[in-house]
Amino acid sequence: MDAETLLARFGKSLREARKRRGLTQAQLAALAGVPRLKVIQVERGEASVSIGAYAEVAAALGLEFTPVPARRPTLDEVAELLANG
């Protein structure tokens, strides 16, 4: 599996966690100590964002990085990657 797909999935999971907690991007940015634009970039799964920024956002949501075996992307994920690419 490629890094772009992994980052897209991770960003999506962070966005879903933020929404489940009822937080806006601005509120999460304040909790994580990063600019709102950084939260937007993390949620998009942008590769140019440092791993530290991903960690700050995840930590602010009470999450951690946990390696799991990769799975193939779903058709919806492939379509989303193609649309955003």
Give me the chain's average pLDDT, please: 92
Measure the CA–CA gap between 72 and 44, rounded to whole angstroms.
Answer: 19
What are the domain boundaries of the chain?
Answer: 3-64+71-84
Q: How confident is the model at residue 85 (pLDDT cuts 50, 70, 90)?
A: low
- 13 pLDDT above the threshold of 90: yes
Residue 82 identity = L
How much is the pTM?
0.80
Q: By the 8 A CB rule, do 47 and 3 touch?
A: yes
CATH number attached to the domain at 3-64+71-84: 1.10.260.40
